[in-house]
Amino acid sequence: MFVLKEAWATISRHKGRSTLAALTIVIVSVVSLTGLSILKAENIATTTSYDSQDVTAIFKLNRAKVIKANEGKTIDWSKYTLGWEDYITYAQAAVVQFSADYNESADISASGNLKAVSGNSGTSSDTAVGKGRGALSVVGFSSAASAKKAANGSFTLTSGKAVSYSESTASNTVLISQALAKKNNLKVGDSITVADMKTSSKTHKLTISGIYKNATTAKSSSADADNPDNAIYTSYYTFMSMGLDSETTPGTAGHSLNMVFGFSTPKDFKTFTKNVRKAGLSKNYDLVSESLQQYNETVEPLTQTAKWARYTMLTLAILGAVILLACGFFTLSHRKQEIGMLMTLGVGKVRISWRFIIEMFIVVIPSLLVGLGGGYALNLLVARWIPAHSIAESTPDLGVWKILISVAAGLCALCIIAAITRITIFRKRNLLLPRQEAQA
- Encode pLDDT of 51-90 as tens digits: 999 998 888 888 889 888 888 888 887 788 888 888 999 9
pLDDT confidence of residue 128: 44
Residues of the chain with pLDDT under 70: 1-14, 120-132, 217-223, 247-248, 331-350, 352, 419, 422-423, 425-440
pLDDT confidence of residue 438: 42
- The SS3 call for residue 267 is helix
Please, what is the Cα angle at 178 between 235 and 192, to 5 degrees?
55
> Rounded to whole angstroms, how far apart are CA atoms 181 and 150?
19
CB-count burial class (<10 Å; 0-12, 13-18, 19+) for 318: exposed
- The SS3 call for residue 287 is strand
Chain centre to alpha carbon of residue 377: 26
Please, what is the Cα angle at 312 between 26 and 386, to 5 degrees?
90
In 3-state terms, the chain is what percent helix, strand and coil (to 5)? 55, 15, 30
Q: In the chain, count of helices (H) and strands (E)?
A: 14, 10
pLDDT confidence of residue 437: 45
Please, what is the Cα angle at 123 between 122 and 129, to 5 degrees?
115
- The SS3 call for residue 16 is helix
> Rounded to whole angstroms, how far apart are CA atoms 25 and 17?
12
Q: Is the pTM of this model over 0.75?
A: no
**Per-position b or e across 229-252, b if 16+ CB within 10 A of its CB:** bbbbbbbbbbbebbebbebbebbe
- Tell how strand 203-214 and strand 173-177 pair up: parallel
> Which of 168, 203, 211 has its CA nearest to residue 186?
211
